[in-house]
């Protein structure tokens, strides 16, 4: 989302973003809204209520005079992690909330929408800048939950032996595949972090200098076929390839292949949002943990890129790719133009931490990003379920290194 200066633009952006969330949920049956397959995922019903709670808490309550919350206890149910706002229902028990019903949650959305449109129609000089900033934050927050909805629906459905398809009409793109090309980058002092006027999260700031040695990057993601080579070469059995935590994890969990794969030898299927499909050897390998990405890179005699290396490369590329609006909801084989944004979030070797001089947002919104700056890794680029226009070179996604329900993959890097 980009900043909106005109009230009519703001209202249109709000309507469009909210409607898109409901469109994502439209293929769901009522029963599907309740599922929480693992602690990391949330029921779709919780997501669509939580994003409404965000607008209610950070915009309607402080800025719309006389606003009355839809329900006095919904703040407890649908606060995610904002400790300074109040207590909250445990994350692991979101799937136990059979009430409010799906119908009531949609009524809650309607209530919030009605009052948000009143607020956006009555901006005045005293609150205008702050309301517009928080609106942009709320819309970008809802876009993040749109991506999470697809991630979580996929995981929820994957545990059903019937392997239900979320949609049967998704576009599928096959490709012939091609070798990766290597791009060379010169050493020097570079700048990373958000610059300019466009919306960005606090964790992308301040823009600052970094010293980089010369490096090389593959111009596309690693494919299923290449990853099968790693598996067939005993990659999951060779401790020399693994970080200690990763080796412990794959043995404890008996991981032998990426998440959502089933099969053996050279005959593999993959669960997708379009249901079970034969594995396309030319598609980028998807749903890897950082440990698996790192082990593959070591097996290939290369390494993962750092955040700064990848950000500098992304900044030089046009911001286009296979995002959610391609309506595939699955990564596609690389084209001749290279594969930079979209398809899959690229794991980096960089721990998610504060940039020099980082200052979180004021007040409770300062809990949005900064307090998660420990023990997670940065991912860059966006993916096939990221809303178009949501990501950028400086965007910092972050997950724990063992997480693999996100649409995550890898690109190889090397020293020049
Ligand atoms: Fe959230």
Whole-number Å distance, alpha carbon 48 to ligand 1 midpoint, is 10
Residue-level pLDDT at 3:
44
Residue-level pLDDT at 174:
85
3-state secondary structure the chain: CCCCCCHHHHHHHHHHHHHHHHHHHCCCCHHHHHCCCCCCCCCHHHHHHHHHHHHHHHHHHHHCCCCCCCCCCHHHHHCCCCCCCCCCCCHHHHHHCCCCCHHHHHHHHHHHHHHHHHHHCCCCCCCHHHHHHHHHHHHHHHHHHHHHHHHHHHHHHHCCCCCCCCCCCCCCCCCCCCCCCEEEECCEEEEECCCCCCCCCHHHCCCEEEEECCEEEECCCCEHHHHHHHHHCCHHHCHHHCCHHHHHHHHHHCCCCCCCEEEECCEEEEEECCEEEECCCCCECCCCCHHHHHHHHHHCCCECCCHHHHHHHHHCCCCCEECHHHCCCCCCCCCCCCCCEECCEEEEEEECCCCCCCCCCCHHHHHCCHHHCCCCEEEECCCCCCCCCCCCCCCCEEECCCCCCCCEECCCEEEC
Whole-number Å distance, alpha carbon 198 to ligand 1 midpoint, is 21
- Compute φ and ψ for 124, nearest 5 degrees: -140, 170
Query: Would you tell me how many other CB atoms lie within 10 Å of the CB of residue 248?
Result: 12
Return the axis-axis angle of helices 44-55 and 128-158, rounded to nearest 10°.
Answer: 170
Best CA proximity match to 395, nearest among 150, 192, 211, 136: 192
Residue-level pLDDT at 100:
98
Whole-number Å distance, alpha carbon 125 to ligand 1 midpoint, is 29
Residue-level pLDDT at 1:
46
Q: How far is CA 177 from CA 283, 307, 332, in A?
A: 8, 26, 10
Whole-number Å distance, alpha carbon 21 to ligand 1 midpoint, is 13
Q: How far is CA 329 from CA 104, 260, 271, in A?
A: 29, 14, 12
Whole-number Å distance, alpha carbon 219 to ligand 1 midpoint, is 33
Whole-number Å distance, alpha carbon 165 to ligand 1 midpoint, is 26
Return the axis-axis angle of helices 102-120 and 128-158, rounded to nearest 10°.
Answer: 160
Whole-number Å distance, alpha carbon 306 to ligand 1 midpoint, is 27
Specify the pTM. Answer: 0.97
Residue pLDDT tens, the chain, 416 long: 444 467 889 999 999 999 999 999 999 999 999 999 999 999 999 999 999 999 999 999 999 999 999 999 999 999 999 999 999 999 999 999 999 999 999 999 999 999 999 999 999 889 999 999 999 999 999 999 999 999 999 999 999 999 999 999 999 988 888 999 999 999 999 999 998 779 999 999 999 999 999 999 999 999 999 999 999 999 999 999 999 999 999 999 999 999 999 999 889 999 999 999 999 999 999 999 999 999 999 999 999 999 999 999 999 999 999 999 999 999 999 999 999 999 999 999 999 999 999 999 999 999 999 999 999 999 999 999 999 999 999 999 999 999 999 999 999 999 99
Whole-number Å distance, alpha carbon 371 to ligand 1 midpoint, is 14
Q: How far is CA 155 from CA 53, 236, 353, 386, in A?
A: 24, 23, 28, 16
Distance of alpha carbon 271 from alpha carbon 260, whole angstroms: 5
Whole-number Å distance, alpha carbon 348 to ligand 1 midpoint, is 23
Residue-level pLDDT at 5:
61
CB-count exposure of residue 94 (10 Å: 0-12, 13-18, 19+): buried
Residue-level pLDDT at 197:
77
């Amino acid at each position: 989302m980009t900043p909106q200066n005109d009230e009519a633009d703001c209202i249109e952006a709000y309507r469009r973003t909210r409607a898109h969330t409901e469109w994502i949920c439209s293929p769901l049956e009522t029963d599907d809204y309740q599922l929480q397959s693992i602690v990391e995922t949330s029921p779709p019903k919780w997501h669509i209520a939580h994003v409404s709670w965000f607008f209610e808490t950070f915009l309607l309550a402080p800025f719309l005079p006389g606003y009355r919350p839809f329900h006095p206890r919904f703040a407890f149910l649908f606060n995610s992690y904002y400790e300074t706002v109040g207590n909250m229902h445990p994350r692991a028990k979101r799937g136990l909330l059979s009430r409010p019903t799906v119908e009531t949650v949609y009524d809650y959305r309607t209530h919030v929408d009605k009052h948000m449109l009143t607020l956006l129609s009555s901006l005045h000089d005293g609150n205008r800048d702050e309301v517009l900033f928080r609106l942009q934050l709320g819309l970008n927050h809802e876009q993040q939950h749109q991506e999470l909805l697809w991630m979580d629906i996929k995981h929820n459905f994957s545990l059903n032996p019937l392997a239900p398809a979320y949609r049967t009409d998704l576009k599928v793109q096959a490709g012939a595949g091609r070798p990766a090309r290597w791009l060379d980058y010169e050493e020097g002092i570079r700048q990373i972090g958000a610059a300019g006027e466009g919306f960005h999260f606090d964790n992308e700031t301040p823009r600052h200098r970094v010293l980089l040695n010369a490096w090389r990057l593959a111009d596309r993601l690693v494919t299923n076929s290449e990853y099968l080579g790693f598996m067939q070469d005993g990659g999951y059995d060779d401790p020399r390839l693994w970080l200690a935590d990763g080796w412990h994890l794959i043995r404890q969990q008996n991981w032998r292949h990426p998440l959502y794969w089933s099969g053996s030898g050279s005959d593999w299927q993959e669960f997708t949002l379009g249901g079970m499909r034969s594995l396309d050897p030319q598609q980028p390998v998807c749903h890897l943990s950082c440990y698996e990405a790192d082990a593959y890179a070591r097996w290939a005699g290369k390494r993962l890129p750092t955040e700064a290396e990848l950000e500098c490369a992304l900044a030089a590329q046009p911001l286009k790719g296979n995002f959610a609006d391609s309506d595939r909801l699955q990564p596609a084989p690389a084209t001749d133009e290279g594969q930079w944004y979209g398809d899959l979030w690229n794991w980096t070797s960089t721990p998610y931490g504060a940039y020099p001089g980082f200052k979180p947002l004021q007040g409770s919104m300062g809990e949005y990003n900064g307090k998660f700056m420990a023990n997670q890794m940065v991912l860059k680029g966006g993916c096939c379920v990221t809303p178009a226009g949501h990501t950028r070179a400086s965007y910092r996604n972050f997950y724990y290194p063992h997480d693999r329900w996100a649409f995550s993959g890898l690109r190889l890097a090397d020293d020049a």
